[in-house]
């Protein structure tokens, strides 16, 4: 679990837990919800609800592989808020993961 912010820092963050779960599943599509819960710092039950929300919205699909699930993100789906609807889910993922993936591939 993540540590709470020190008293002098605000408790809010720029990303929602839905965004964080999505980013975790993009990084590791076969992660267990327990792993995602630990990474995001929320309960496993909260992650389950978020995954269900994302599936209901058509943003996330789940496929059973053996005893585990693997998740696929529909990157072409628009973001849900009217102010953001001109952007796609893939744009958000690229913003946060694109540079990290490029750095990992080039070793820089």
Identify which of 73, 70, 103 has the alpha carbon closest to the alpha carbon of residue 90: 73
pLDDT of residue 102: 47
Give the DSSP letter of residue 79: P
Phi, psi of 46 (to 5 degrees): -65, -40
Residue 99's pLDDT band, with cuts at 50, 70 and 90, is: low
**Architecture of the domain whose range is 17-106:** Orthogonal Bundle (1.10)
Sequence spans of domains, the chain: 17-106
Sequence-distant (≥ 6) Cβ neighbours of residue 86 within 8 angstroms: 78
Structure confidence by residue, pLDDT tens digits, 62-86: 999 999 999 999 999 999 999 999 9
pLDDT of residue 20: 97
Identify which of 9, 36, 12, 10 has the alpha carbon closest to the alpha carbon of residue 22: 36
**3-class DSSP state of 78:** strand
Which two tokens mark 45?
A: 């039950």
Q: Is the pLDDT of residue 88 over 50?
A: yes
Average pLDDT, the chain: 89
Sequence-distant (≥ 6) Cβ neighbours of residue 56 within 8 angstroms: none
């Amino acid at each position: 679990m993540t540590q709470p912010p020190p008293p002098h820092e605000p408790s809010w963050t720029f990303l929602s837990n839905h965004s964080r779960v999505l980013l975790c599943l993009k990084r590791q599509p076969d992660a267990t919800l327990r792993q995602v819960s630990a990474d995001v710092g929320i309960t496993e039950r909260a992650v389950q609800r978020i995954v269900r929300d994302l599936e209901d919205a058509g943003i996330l699909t789940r496929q059973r592989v053996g005893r585990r699930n693997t998740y696929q993100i529909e990157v072409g789906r628009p973001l849900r808020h009217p102010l953001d609807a001109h952007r796609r889910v893939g744009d958000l993922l690229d913003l946060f993961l694109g540079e990290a993936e490029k750095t990992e591939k080039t070793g820089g």
